[in-house]
Structure 1
């Protein structure tokens, strides 16, 4: 074999290894970005694909393509206040009727998400996929509440799900920087209740909170 052929073979082999390493590093960076963006949703996707990270990342990438350009609609102040009152009633109702409270929370979150511009609650999986692209850290509680409504959780699990779902509720109902007015509103009827600096509602006073 001539020296030229040997050198050519070596160069081709080196280029093939370099290309493989480059592709591998690119996939690793992409996977890291996906994991950072989706958090627990990334782990769920990997588990659903039996540990196949490439398939999981492909699925998550398709979610981003479908829903990444979605623009969330602003929530009018009166609608925000209505949702805050409704959530407070759900928290109070949980003490005596946890299953009914979970069903109400599930329906309220679906309606609130739709009002913010996400797919309707009748398409739960699509709505959840869209929410995961924009609120990945908060969708798990909503999923847990939805499963609890289907009878797949006990009372304590339902309580924990409702507590976790509050995070998504707060995200969707939060006061935005372009709101022109700070409104005061007490969920338990007392005159001194007010929103915090993100527009989140105070916890219900005088009744056991679902986080208590």
Structure 2
């Protein structure tokens, strides 16, 4: 037996040529959507995978400028629950080959600026596994406020966030007159992996770059590298 969920909106809609790519990882209808509304282009990809793991699927019908209708279906007789399905996705993202203890990470206080809930869960799982103390915020503005109000050892900074993105937040932190605030290591977390993108992040004051989807071993390595050179 299938259960269907239908979600309709009367928003901006989706251009016909973009509908076929909507469920591709790290894909959004256009570059302005990320900046205006937040997100990484992973939500629909993960949603489809969850539906398929539960014996169903997800589809969309959209008219540009009029809105969209998403239909998701799942089988109720499958012994698969959302938590187990998400764990299988999370396990595929985590780098299970990494067995180092990373003692330098234990007790480390890390400020994570990330607006996507799935990404928050993944990063939290990776860092808490190594004894890191995490503080989560949703955008660059909240990141700056949190950093001014309490002491952190390092910042993991998403690039595309609502209200204030990671670029502007990093610039403001680096320009702060208080050197304790200005000199904190900042690592960019983003799916943008082109050399010119990475060079730009470094030019605005970020110390390093970690690609999404994030591998645990790479995240640990970059954090330890930044701490050594800070």
Fold in common (TM above 0.5)? no
Which has the larger helix fraction? 1
TM-score (norm 2): 0.28
Give the strand-richer structure, 1 or 2. 2
TM-score for the superposition, normalised by structure 1: 0.30
Larger radius of gyration: 1
